[in-house]
Amino acid sequence: LRGPEHPAGIPEPAHCAGGNEDLELGARVRITLTNLVSVNERLVYTPHPENPEMTVLTQEAIITVKGISLGSYLESLMANTISSNAKKGWAAIEWIIEHSESAVS
């Protein structure tokens, strides 16, 4: 499997409903091989229901593999990779918050 010969940008629409504090970000087909594999990614930021100083992030990725015999294996592999990368992202965010709070104290 090869990546594209030329880099490509993917637009990520953002939606924020009037009178609502929710923010939704989405991306479609953020990988190569678009005729075989597609990934629809969605991030939703909402106010924490009990603490207005906090935000709740919900992240999901819908993976679709078409026309190849190892489709379910590839879907599982991609789901595990996306989950692992999301955990790394959270760890990085928590590290930044922890160190920025100690720098302010």
94 φ, ψ (degrees, to nearest 5): -65, -40
The radius of gyration of the chain from alpha carbons, rounded to an integer in Å, stands at: 17
pTM listed for this prediction: 0.49
Asked whether the beta carbons of 21 and 45 are under 8 A apart, the reply is no
Mind listing the pLDDT tens digit for each residue in 49-91? 999 888 888 888 887 777 767 677 777 888 888 888 888 887 8
Q: Is the pLDDT of residue 44 over 70?
A: yes
Q: Is the pLDDT of residue 21 over 70?
A: yes
Higher confidence at residue 12 or residue 47?
47
Q: What is the pLDDT of residue 19?
A: 65
Q: What is the pLDDT of residue 50?
A: 93
Asked whether the beta carbons of 46 and 55 are under 8 A apart, the reply is yes
Hey, where are the domains in the chain? 14-104
Which tokens in the block code for residue 24?
């939704």
Helices then strands, counting H and E runs in the chain, come out as 1, 4
